[in-house]
Structure 1
Amino acid sequence: MALEIERKFLATPAVLPLCRSGTLLVQGYLYTDACNTLRVRRAGDRAFLTWKGPKSGATREEIECEVPLQMGEELLADVPPGQRVHKTRYRVDHAGASWDVDVFEGALGGLILAEIEMAREDQYVALPRWVGREVTTDARYRNSRLAKGAMLDRLAA
């Protein structure tokens, strides 16, 4: 089973000039509970089905497989439009590492998250000046929660 080890941070708009060519992601959550998440994602003209297991620190089990685009679209159609996450993902390099920077749209507009995948949890990561507070263990910033509108109050403030 594959392990995903990543840290997640709030990012500031200072990263936006570094965000050049991005991919529009639309994702919906077919099932979530305290331990499991089943997600469908359209990434440009591709679609993926992903299962993520329980999180421990920055680590969780993950299985992802590409599915035909039509199947992905049909699965996304089962998720109410207001419970989908729309964001553009950019790759931004910093200090020899590649960061995923997600710029959210719609009701979550204004939210920018930056993630970095690591080989191990204790790996040193040089933080760019455009990252703010770490939210790796803050469940409110999980995309499955964001899809349910969990952060709308924060963004309205």
Structure 2
Amino acid sequence: MSFEIERRFLVCQDVRHFCRHGDRIVQGYISFDNGSGGQKARVRIRNDQAFLTIKGERRGLIRPEFERAVPFSWASVLLSRLPPETLIRKTRYEVGFAGMTWEIDVFDGRNSGLVVAEIELEHAEQEFELPDWVGAEVTFDERYGNSSLAVRPVSTWPAAA
């Protein structure tokens, strides 16, 4: 089992000028423990590849992660059996900045308008430079987790006062 160490931020500027060639992602959750940050099982199709991912409970920035490639046909059938409104649809762009690779997710559907940037780290204390196009950090804000967005998309959030 490996570990995921990532930080997530809202994107606060238009990044379309350097987000040219992205990967289409459709993913759904077949098991998750809402509210407690517990284990989650996800099926994802990224372009023409499919994956099963199981993520454990987050401890600080670190969470255990198990990911394996699965047959595309298997993932397609499984996703087709999930409620369509719970599927996460997004385009992911990889952008280099200050020697690091940032993943920018531009969400579609019920999460349209949401743009999140994340950076994978080698260790929890790793320092990195923030690009000027990132804003508020949402690493620990459960609302922005994909499994939360699947059941409580941004289109259902109350308008800011």
The answer as to 2:135 corresponding to 1:136 is: no
CA contact (8 A) 1:22 1:91 kept: yes
Change (3 A) 1:13 1:68: same
Structure with greater strand percent: 1
CA contact (8 A) 1:110 1:155 kept: no
Mapped partners of 1:153, 1:126: distance in 2: 33
User: Which letter maps to 1:27?
Assistant: Q
Residue of structure 1 in register with 2:22 after alignment: 22
Residue of structure 1 in register with 2:107 after alignment: 104
What CA deviation, in whole Å up to 9, does each residue of 1:100-141 have, x standing for no partner? 000000111110000000001110010000000000011111
With normalisation by structure 2, the TM-score equals: 0.93
Question: Which residue of 79, 102, 113 corresponds with 2:82?
Answer: 79
Change (3 A) 1:76 1:29: same
Mapped partners of 2:136, 2:99: distance in 1: 21
With normalisation by structure 1, the TM-score equals: 0.95
What CA deviation, in whole Å up to 9, does each residue of 1:40-59 have, x standing for no partner? 00100111000000011221
CA contact (8 A) 2:111 2:153 kept: no
Deviation at 1:14, TM superposition (A): 2.4
Deviation at 1:150, TM superposition (A): 4.3
Q: How many residues of Structure 1 are paired with residues of Structure 2 in the alignment?
A: 157
Residue of structure 2 in register with 1:44 after alignment: 47
CA contact (8 A) 1:102 1:112 kept: yes
Q: Give secondary structure in 1 for the equivalent of 2:58.
A: strand
RMSD: 1.3
Question: Which residue of 87, 93, 98 corresponds with 1:95?
Answer: 98
Deviation at 1:154, TM superposition (A): 3.8
Question: Which residue of 99, 114, 122 corresponds with 1:119?
Answer: 122
User: Which letter maps to 2:121?
Assistant: M
CA contact (8 A) 1:108 1:155 kept: no
Deviation at 1:156, TM superposition (A): 5.2
Identity %: 46
